[in-house]
Amino acid sequence: MTFLQDLPKKKIAIVDDDRGLAEVTAWDLEDAGYEPFLLVQGNYTNVNELASRIIENTQGAVCDHRLSNSGLANFYGAELVAALYDRKLPSLLITQYTEMDISLSIRKWRRKIPVLLSREQADASSIAKGIEDSKLELCGNVPSTRKSHRTIVRISNIDEESHERVVDAFIPGWNPHKAVRFPASLVPEQLWDALNPNARLFARVNIGAETSDDLYFEQFELAPEPDDDDGLA
């Protein structure tokens, strides 16, 4: 008979270029009943190479967002979580820089990031729940806050951030009074000429999201000219 305590613990990768923070996350994982697998050194230039190493050695991952400060990788943790999502490995993203990074380097991959935690939110309980929530979504159990709906996106401004073109827009189906920023690269290139103030596009957006940090955008298309009778004007 095999006792529960004799069963092997699930191994979870910790991807972080700050060893001190990685070790704090490792303690949280141990408290949650997992075995940490630290990835804090290296010089990864290909996100799929790192994703493959994680998949070969673990059953999940906790990734920091900024991985380049100490040279661990030349890509963001958000892109890594998205790559792991495509390969059906439960993972979540942790960051200290939500306010600075959400609109651009995180939003670019937000569709494939089931769980985003700030450092102050991350503890044994929230990490364990995040891994489970990610696993559930990968199995098709998508919560209402993550389901996308075809909705109007009203462009209010075109700007530049970190040398990249960004779009400020209102999503009436989510909150008609709060603008949200996203990278213009999410919009198909053939529609870039339509990215002007007061322009209207359709997109798939998770309008059940509780906060703007959780919003993602995909499948943009041109919207028809406003019609006072269509309820969208």
pLDDT digits (tens, 9 = 90+) for 96-112: 999 999 999 999 999 99
Region(s) of the chain under CATH 2.40.50: 145-222
CATH 2.40.50 correct for 145-222 = yes
Residue range 8-138, CATH number: 3.40.50.2300
pLDDT at residue 64 above 50?
yes
Measured from the Cβ of residue 65, the count of other Cβ atoms closer than 10 Å reads 26
Mean pLDDT of the chain: 93
Q: Considering the entire predicted model, what is its pTM?
A: 0.92
Q: Which two tokens stand for residue 66?
A: 């900024």
At residue 6 the predicted structure's pLDDT band, cuts being 50, 70 and 90, is: low
Instruction: Specify whether the CB–CB gap between 66 and 97 falls below 8 A.
Output: yes
Instruction: Specify whether the CB–CB gap between 205 and 211 falls below 8 A.
Output: no
Nearest-angstrom CA–CA distance, 63 and 80: 8
Name the residue type at position 192: W
Give how far Cα 81 sits from Cα of 93, 113, 134, Å: 7, 6, 11
Q: Find the angle CA(126)-CA(132)-CA(133) to the nearest 5 degrees.
A: 85
Max intra-chain CA distance, the chain = 71
Instruction: Specify whether the CB–CB gap between 103 and 164 falls below 8 A.
Output: no
pLDDT of residue 228: 58
At residue 9 the predicted structure's pLDDT band, cuts being 50, 70 and 90, is: confident
pLDDT of residue 224: 86
pLDDT at residue 225 above 90?
no
pLDDT of residue 69: 87
Q: How confident is the model over 135-152, as a mean pLDDT?
A: 98
Region(s) of the chain under CATH 3.40.50.2300: 8-138
